[in-house]
Structures are given as C-alpha cells and as structure tokens.
Structure 1
Amino acid sequence: MLHLHSESTKRWLHQVDNHLDELLLDHAHCERKAASTAMNLMNAYTENLDICEEMARIVEEELEHFFMVVEILKKRGIPFRRIAPGPYGRNLTGLIRQNHPDRAVDRMLVASLIEARSCERFRLLAEHVKEREPELSEFYAGLFESEARHHTTYVRLAEHFVDRETVRQRLAELSKLESEIIAEGSDMPRMHS
C-alpha cells in the first residue's frame, strides 16, 4: 500500500529513545512543510480543480496536525523553534526531473513517498512508545490513516499528467532511490533520518 522498498531500521528507534524531544520538534516542522508543499502544488497546477480541491484538504489536515504537535510540545515544555532540516527531503526533491510532464509527476510522487515514510515511522513510533507513553502512542497511531490517504492521493494525482503504468514505473524507481536515501540516514535525529 505504501510503495516503500525498505523498512526503517533500529538505528532510527535508537534516535527515538535518545532524542524524542527533538524528533517531536522536527515532526512539527514536517507537518508545516507538508502543508506548504500542498499549497505550492495547488499554486503550480491551479487550473486543475481536482488537484486544487485535494491540495486544499491536505493543507487543512497538515496544518491541523502541525498545531496538534505544537500542543504536545507545549505540554512537554519544549519551546517551538527552528531546527536544521535533515538531508532526506533535500535529497529526495533533488530527484525531481525538470521537464513537463515529468516534473509534475515527480513532484506528486516525491510528496507521496514522504507521506508514506511518515506513515511508516508514525506506526513504528506508536508501537515503540506504547508502554511508556500511551498518550503519545495513541496520537501517532491516529495519524496513520490520514498520512496513508495523502500518499495514495498524491499517487492518483500524478495520473493527471501521464498514464497509470508510467506513474507506477516512476514510483517504483523513486521508491528504490528513497530507500537508499533513508538507508544513508543522518546523525541528526529527525522524523526522516
């Protein structure tokens, strides 16, 4: 369902154990960036009302998630602040081809893979902290469905630009490359490190 070629490693769960506060802070930024991505796509393809409607829904949900994470930060006494982004998003967006319609397809599919990886990480996080942080576990388990829906929405919207088979082939290519990027990881504790 998520079109990922790999699963997260124990290395990431070790970062969860040692840097949960920073991961939560990064998660807030991820939600904000996801809303911004959806708004940018809405602006780029404004003549396509299906894309506009779907992006508007995603913007709304991502901003809602942003404020939910900010509320968790407040409860934990973690001030919301800027942090350096990890290399994952930059490396993944670096794979986007520049010519039309390839650029449109890749923008949608890169967004879909980020959502898919978030979905996988949220499920892992929910399971990993279930015993010691039941409220946090419940929160992350609750995000799974919307992230999975965003993933499939982006894949479907890529079909506005090329046929389904071409989308599936490119998704497989990008997914393989995404798994290489996530395997490289980062020393910075991030949702996608």
Structure 2
Amino acid sequence: MENLLAPIQGFLNCETPDAWVAEAVKKENLAVLLTDHLICELKAAQSAMFLIRRYAVDADSAKALLDWLKPYEDFTYRQIGNWRELEKFKLNKSMLVKSGSRYGQELVDKMVMLIREELHHFYQVLEMMNDYGVEYDKIESSRYAKGLLKHVKTHEPDALIDKLICGAYIEARSCERFAKIAPFLDKPLGDFYISLLRSEARHYQDYLTLATDIAGKDISQRVAYFGEVEADLISSSDEDFKFHSGLPIMSAV
C-alpha cells in the first residue's frame, strides 16, 4: 500500500488534517460520510461522462451515456427506483468518436472505464449503507469540487486541461482519505476503503496523463496552481463536514 500511495502523497500539497480524520471516524458521522461518499461516486461518473459528451463523441453516443446514468441519477436526486436493480444497467453501445478529434479515443477509453468503476463503487457504497442500517437521504454537496472548478479557464483547450487536472486532484484526495480513515473504521468498512485504493490511484493517473497528452506541453505550473487551491480547501476551516471537507470548524478555532 505504501508504494501505491507514494505518488499520491507526492502529488498532493498537504495531508488530510488529523482533526478531519477524528471527525470522520465518529459513529454519529457515519451516515453523512457514507451518503456523501455515495454522491461523490455518482458525481465522478457524471464528470467523466460530461467530458466524453462535450469533447469526444457523436450525438447518439452522447445519448447512450445519458441513458446509462439516468437510473443512478433518478435514485440519487429523485429517489426513484430500487437500488438493488442499478447494477443491471450497462452501457450497451460502442462510443463513436467525433471525426477529427485528436484525443477523442484516448479520452473515451479512459473515461468509460472510470465511469464503470465509479458506478460499481456507487453500488458498493449502497451495500455498505444497507449493512450499517444507513437509509439514503439527499444531502447538500460540499464546497470542495466547486472550489476547484471555479478556477478553470473559460477558453479551449485550456478549459479541458484544467478540468482534467481538477479530476486528478479529486481522485488523488479520495484515495488519500480512504487510506487515512480505513484503519480506524469497523473492519468491513475499512477493508472496503482499502479495496478502492488501486482504482482511485489509477483514476488520478489517467486524468493527469490525459491533461499532459492533450496539452502537448509542460503543464506543471497549472498543476502546481491547482495543488495550492486544493490544499487550501483541505486545510482551511470548514463548518460543513463531508468526505472532501476542510478542517472541522471547531478544530480551527
């Protein structure tokens, strides 16, 4: 696990504060932790789908992606459907890359795999919630992703590159936090989080590789910039406890 986490720790500008870990492992916060994790898995899948639809595929392929995620979105946002049925929904259409797209196939290949894994993780979190007697209820998202994405440039291809860098930081932080809290949780839940590390680490690398390949130039300054933004969101005081929240407000006082 140390070899797996070393690149993540080198990429992130700060560690998760111990105060956040202490808050995350409180039994009274289990429902919020699992529920927010669940929503984060869906948002990760949605973000990858947006990138494919926006930058890589034709209209029919874009519609197939929407149809694939719709049952998950219906359950999460409209509380429609039985969660036990979700895993039967698959992507049954091959993605047709837009003609002339220089990076479309690479984007599709990496992001479709990511979506499949994030939706499987979504289902696994629901299984954990069921095992721990946590009923799903909608909650507000944290400031974290919005705090990163508000710094994305508005012109292309820089906007795409920035979004990919943000994706790398989100996945890297998720991986780091899974590893941080796993030793302090009940064994089934801790083992579950350890089982996610390898895929989350690969997701971070896929995002960063795509950003570098598409840019075709050195992006280290932009990566460093978002590293500072991300670290500030993680280390600054935050009154709203969530999976990607910052320093718990009582700890920062």
Shared fold per TM-score greater than 0.5: yes
**CA distance in 2: counterparts of 1:89 and 1:100, whole angstroms:** 20
Residue number in structure 2 paired with 1:114: 170
Of structures 1 and 2, the one scoring higher in RCO (CA 8 A, sep 6+) is 1
Moved more, 15-24 or 138-147: 15-24
CA 1:111–1:185 in 2, change beyond 3 Å: closer, same or farther? Answer: farther
Residue number in structure 1 paired with 2:50: 40
Choose which of 75, 78, 82 in structure 1 pairs with 2:138: 82
**Is the Cα–Cα contact under 8 Å of residues 119 and 147 in structure 1 kept in the other structure?**
yes
**CA distance in 1: counterparts of 2:158 and 2:19, whole angstroms:** 34
**CA distance in 2: counterparts of 1:164 and 1:115, whole angstroms:** 23
Residue number in structure 1 paired with 2:107: 51
Choose which of 141, 154, 157 in structure 2 pairs with 1:101: 157
Query: For the pair shown, which has the larger CA radius of gyration, 1 or 2?
Result: 2
| Structure 1 gap segments, 5+ residues each | none
Choose which of 180, 189, 193 in structure 1 pairs with 2:241: 189
1:12 and 2:32 equivalent? no
**Is the Cα–Cα contact under 8 Å of residues 45 and 52 in structure 1 kept in the other structure?**
no
**CA distance in 1: counterparts of 2:190 and 2:22, whole angstroms:** 16
Q: Tell me the CA shift for residue 164 of structure 1.
A: 4.7
CA RMSD of aligned residues (A): 1.2
- The alignment's TM-score, normalised by the length of structure 2, stands at 0.72
- The alignment's TM-score, normalised by the length of structure 1, stands at 0.94
Runs of 4 or more, structure 1, over 4 Å off, are none
> What SS does structure 2 have at the residue aligned with 1:159?
helix
**CA distance in 2: counterparts of 1:115 and 1:182, whole angstroms:** 14
Identity across the alignment (%): 32
**Is the Cα–Cα contact under 8 Å of residues 25 and 181 in structure 2 kept in the other structure?**
no
Q: Tell me the CA shift for residue 74 of structure 1.
A: 1.0
Q: Tell me the CA shift for residue 101 of structure 1.
A: 1.4
